[in-house]
Structures are given as C-alpha cells and as structure tokens.
Amino acid sequence: MIKPGLLTTVQDLGRFGHQAAGVPVAGPMDAFSHRLANQLVANEPDAATLEITLIGPELEPDIDITIAVAGAHFEVWCDDRPVPMATSVRITKGQRLRFGKRIQGARAYLGVAGGVQTRPILGSRATHLVSAMGGHEGRALVSGDRVSVLPSMQSDSSRRAVGLTLPTGGRARLRVVPGPQADWFQAEAIRAVSGVSFRISPRSNRMGYRLEGPPLTRVRQSELISEPVCMGAIQVPGAGEPILLMADRQTAGGYPKIGHVISADLPLAGQLAPGDFIEFATCTRQEAVTALIARERQLLRYSALKDAS
C-alpha cells in the first residue's frame, strides 16, 4: 500500500451467525458492487475485496494479478493507462494502480482474482472498525501495509459488466416498508416522510447515517426492550432524528424502528456520503420482493453470459 486513501478496508459479505453473542456482522456497504467485483475476477461472492471510500488508494502489487473495480465511479490508472470500471484488467508486478478523481458514488470495491487473504475471525475477513475485528489488524489500511492475495490462473481475457446505477446529484430515492414499531408514531407517519429530503449528517459513519430533516414524533413514549436490528432499519431516538443503520451496525437496539429500507435499495444507500440526501418512498412487501428478485437477476444475467463465453 503506497497511499491508503481516506478509508480503505478489507470486506467480505460479513460475519453472520454470531449476533446472538453480540458480534456485529460488518461487511460491504454496497454488497451488490462487492459481489460484482468478485464475479468479474471469477471469485466466489464472499471473497474479500477492498472497500474504498471517497478518496482512493495507490497500490503496487508484487505479483501479477487480475483486478476489477465496481461501485463508485473513480478515475483509475495503471501507471499511465486508464482502467475502465466494472472490467477485469491484468496488472503486472511493479505497476502502480492509482485511484484519482471520484466522479459519482461514494464507495468502490477492488476485487482481486483469488481474493484478499487476511486471517479469518469467526469465519469472516470483514473489518469491523469499532471492535477492531477482522480485516488487516482490525483497522483501515495505512501506507506500508501489505495484504496477501492467492495466485490466480485466470486467463488474460477481459470481462465486462454493467454496474449499479449510482445516485445522481448526491441524492437517492430509497423504498421503505413499515417497521415493527411503526404504530409508535403519528398515524401514517411513514407515509408522511415520503418525498421529504433528509440530509446525511457529518456525524454518520459505517455504523449508521444520522438523518437531518423534519423530526418524527412519537405517540408512544415508553421504552422499547432492546431487540435485534439489521442493516436498513430506520431507528428513531426520542428527539425524533432518524438513524439509518448500515453495515457496522450494533447487534441489538432499543430505539423504535419506523421502517426498513428494502434490500434491493441498500446498495444505493451504501453509495451515499455525509452531505448527500435521501428521499424515502413507501412500498409494499410484495414490491420489495419483486425489486430484490430484479436486483439479483442483474448478477445472474452476467453470470450466465460469463459461463456461455
């Protein structure tokens, strides 16, 4: 690692199966782009990638590797040669891979054929920053760090795909379904926030986005017994400022949840940054299932094309 960028971490699909013991899941903020980067270099979906946030790194491999970058659109260079997004590219030992200007989106995923190899913790290489667990010493990468990859026999033929449609103008429309405590709020509160823009606060991070906008008023003021939470839950503390839980969320929480961002739209949420805006739109559970099937078919269509070639 020559330059680390703003926040570059090792992530796989997450540390599932241990939340009952208080172990967070972590994983990518945009799982769709993480999986696509892995597909492009013929990895399994849960292989570890590098998640790159806002400002990209500069790296120099000490073996020949095949890489692909998916997610946020950056200017990427291999020495003086531009590297296209969502395309597998062969890089030889000693060449410099450099991320330049960020054009759209917030997080890119660097997939490497063979996968990034760090020591698994509880079956996962995902970095959870708050607990300093997983990844490379439980932290973001810094200059001078070295991470291993498995040597790959992948051919030199290039693979291309269509990546995620990124939010434009720093705004995303996220569909939500009512949460388990929707009745704790004013009648039709979840519908009332539809079309309202919430700004992502500078106090946001991989754990969650604090949203600045009209307060969501409770009609029930009693305390909630802590219960499991998941990525996409919209918690509302007593002051009425909602929090959208993200990849590094805690395992349980005691704030009522007015709604959940649907799984198909979580990758869009992962491509937002502090200062960007979210507009919520309600949908039915059937619409959420249909949207998730369509999202998964994006990856399945590319897999079918790749296998046919």
- Which residues make Cβ contacts (< 8 Å) with residue 138, sequence separation at least 6? 127, 128, 129, 131, 132
CA distance 33 to 64: 23
Q: Which domain holds residue 48?
A: 7-149
Q: Do 40 and 94 fall into the same domain?
A: yes
**Residue 159 within a domain:** no
For residues 67 and 33, state if they share a domain.
yes
Q: What is the DSSP letter of 95?
A: P
∠ CA 82-170-298, nearest 5°, is 65
Task: Choose among 291, 283, 268: nearest CA to 200.
Answer: 268
Same domain, yes or no, for 89 and 201?
A: no
Q: Cβ distance 28 to 15 under 8 Å?
A: no
Is the domain of 236 the same as that of 116? Answer: no
Q: Is the pLDDT of residue 309 over 90?
A: no
Q: Do 112 and 13 belong together in one domain? A: yes
Question: Who has greater pLDDT, 163 or 176?
Answer: 176
Q: Confirm if 74 and 56 have CB atoms less than 8 A apart.
A: yes
**308 inside domain:** no
User: What's the one-letter identity of residue 72?
Assistant: A
- 184 with 273, same domain? yes
Q: Which token pair is 13?
A: 């699909």
**Which distant-in-sequence residues (6+ apart) come within 8 Å of 154 by Cβ?**
41, 42, 66, 88, 113
122 and 208: one domain?
no
Any domain includes 154:
no
Give the CATH number, domain containing residue 188. Answer: 2.40.100.10
Whole-number mean pLDDT of the chain?
A: 92
Please state, as a whole number, how many other Cβ atoms lie within 10 Å of the Cβ of residue 109.
27
Q: Is residue 161 part of a domain?
A: no
Instruction: Examine the domain organization and report whether 231 and 286 are in the same domain.
Output: yes
12: exposed, middle or buried (Cβ count in 10 Å: 0-12, 13-18, 19+): buried
Q: What is the count of structural domains for the chain?
A: 2
In-domain check, residue 232:
yes
The DSSP bridge pattern shows strands 116-117 and 148-149 to be: antiparallel
pLDDT for 220: 85
pTM of the model: 0.94
Q: Which of 92, 116, 149 is the last residue of a domain?
A: 149
Q: Are residues 255 and 121 in the same domain?
A: no
Report pLDDT digits (tens) over 73-108.
Answer: 999 999 999 999 999 999 999 999 999 999 999 999
The per-residue pLDDT for range 29-70, each reduced to its tens digit, is 999 999 999 999 999 999 999 999 999 999 999 999 999 999
Query: Are residue 51 and residue 131 in the same domain, yes or no?
Result: yes
pLDDT tens-digit series, residues 168-217:
999 999 999 999 999 898 766 677 677 789 999 999 999 999 999 988 88
